Amino acid sequence: MRAFRLAYDGRPFSGFQRQPSVPTVEDSLFDALDSLDVFNRDTDSKPSGYAAAGRTDAGVSALRQTVGFECPSWCTPRALNSELPTSVRAWASADVQSGFHATHDALQRTYTYYLYGPELDMNRLNTAAEILSGKHDFHNFTSDDDGTTRKLSITLEFDDPFITARITADGFPRSLIRRLMSALRGVGSESMTIETLTGLLNTVPQTGPDGIPTASPEPLILTRVTYPDATFRIDNRAINSLKSVFTHRYQRCLTQARVAEHIVSKSGSDQN
């Protein structure tokens, strides 16, 4: 039994979990394992013992998504990368006990959200983060009916022009983090009062115009998943592949941002 760390750019995918007729991270992983003859997609729905730490939404990325399954000793991160698309990179692995379950055995999960907001009030944001941290029933921040009471922590760091939010809990109901980020933006921009935010933690359902929309998925990353008895070993060749792929994507995004900046800054001029 082996567990793997996966990093991926979530933008090309319709989420992590398999879905019919749309690209997902899990489908890419299963295709790779099928190509390596680790399992047969024609006869099995998933690899033996398979589970994943989390089911990230469409557009959400990951640094330490964790999957576990039965596989031969030669199945290493670099072997997986030989069949995975470049937008998904395996980079570390751990030999784990039989019966390891990547979902149920996780002690904590941490997500990082890059909230663009040079104009947001940091004092109000910190107050909001303190209110939301701790054990609450977050039923007004998720579409789930069960498992809505969670104990979580939110820490904020100003990194102009972003506010970096790190959210840690043992698990998260559907869309919880993105709705929390939407609420934080509302408080930081003063379009939501502290009293309104506090009211969202009470037992009265808030729907319609009083409900909380979900923030954009692209700034969200699954950054950490911890396990009690798993020691991950980095595959140096695989980590070099990861760095090469994501350095190229970083440079491409910077170039696209510069083009957009030029259009914004020069629009309205009357140059012929």
Residue ranges at the known binding site for substrate: 111
Find the length of the chain: 272
Calpha distance 216→214 (Å, rounded): 7
Binding site residue list: 111
Structure tokens at 52: 């994943």
Of 57, 105, 145, 235, which residue is the catalytic one?
57
Q: Is 9 a known active-site residue? A: no
Of the candidates 271, 262, 169, the residue with the CA atom closest to the CA atom of residue 222:
169
Task: For the chain, state the CA radius of gyration.
Answer: 21
The answer for residues whose C-beta is within 8 angstroms of residue 252's C-beta and 6 or more apart is none
Long-range contacts of 23-29 (CB under 8 A, 24+ apart): 25/56, 25/62, 25/65, 25/88, 26/52, 28/84, 28/85, 28/87, 28/88, 29/67, 29/80, 29/84, 29/88
Distance between CA atoms of residues 66 and 32, nearest Å: 16
Closest Cα partner for 90 from 247, 236, 227, 252? 236
Look at strands 88-95 and 233-234 and give their pairing. antiparallel
Give the 3-state secondary structure of residue 198: helix
Report the C-alpha gap between 218 and 58 in whole angstroms.
8
CB atoms within 10 A of CB 173: 20
Which positions are annotated as active-site residues? 57
